[in-house]
Amino acid sequence: MTIPAILPGDIELRISREPVPYREALEEMTARNAAIAAGEARELIWLLEHPPVYTAGTSAALDELLDPRFEVVEAGRGGRYTYHGPGQRIGYVLLDLKKRARDARGFVHGLEGWVIETLRDFGVESFRADGRIGIWTTDVDSREAKIGAIGVRIRKWVTMHGFSVNIRPDLSHFTGIVPCGIEEFGVTSLARLGREVDFAAWDEAMIARAPAFLATLESPCPRSETAE
């Protein structure tokens, strides 16, 4: 499959082959968000990887930062502390919801569905969990564990931030925080579950499912199906 540079709706697709420092990505994403809102730039879906970093959402509590062994950056997104690092695929999704259903909850629901369906392509069944933002699966010890995180911000109806999926990160790096403020559940990855997946294969699967994800944003999500 040849991955296109433009997605349906004239959305730019960018795939960074080398790790991008978090602060650098945040600065660029913030500027692009404003430019999209002003009608001066195309929408963007950006797939990338970060060097190790802990990011703090707007609800982050200091006592959930257990061991700040890596740089800690205030992200400006919703949510609490999250780890990003090598072996994790990040997706930043900058879309103008004014062109769509203007449904913030539906946007989050759509992101979750996009990741869930892509994980299924690699033989991993995952799911939403009531009261717990993110993507969950059954770990090798038969307990529920998080395999993907969701964190977004919407400014003037233009989205930013997005999702992360654990492909093959060093899971010990998550022990420096209480991931997303949830102590009773662990984290897992495709590699831990026995799926050896490289970024190229993951990206190809995600992009193949992008049109379906975008289609879900064209109408409001039923209230009974939206994520909390």
Tell me the pLDDT tens digit for each residue of 71-98: 999 888 877 888 999 999 999 999 999 9
Respond yes or no: is residue 180 known to be catalytic.
yes
Higher-scoring residue by pLDDT: 225, 34: 34
pLDDT above 50 for 190: yes
Q: Report residue 178's pLDDT band, with 50, 70 and 90 as the boundaries.
A: confident
Q: Which has more confidence, 61 or 3?
A: 61
CB distance 161 to 95 below 8 Å: no
Q: Which two tokens stand for residue 144?
A: 């529920």
Alpha carbon separation from 111 to 94, 152, 209 (Å, rounded): 12, 10, 11
Residues flagged as binding site? 77-84, 149-151, 162-164
Instruction: Tell whether the model's pLDDT for residue 22 goes beyond 80.
Output: yes
| pLDDT at residue 225 greater than cutoff 50 | no
pTM equals 0.91
Higher pLDDT: 209 or 182? It is: 209
Q: Find where tokens 């999926």 sit.
A: 165
- Minimum mean pLDDT among 6-15, 45-54, 91-100, 218-227: which range? 218-227
227: pLDDT strictly greater than 80: no
Residue 80 is predicted with a pLDDT of 83
Instruction: Tell me the one-letter amino acid at 89.
Output: R
Instruction: Identify the pLDDT of residue 182.
Output: 59
3-state helix vs strand vs coil in the chain, percent to 5: 30, 30, 40
Mean local confidence (pLDDT), 8-12 = 92
Annotated binding site for substrate: 77-84, 149-151, 162-164
Residue 149 · residue 163 · CB < 8 Å: yes
Spot the catalytic one: 108, 180, 206, 221: 180
Q: Where are the domains of the chain?
A: 6-218
Tell me, which fold does domain 6-218 have in CATH? Answer: BirA Bifunctional Protein; domain 2 (3.30.930)
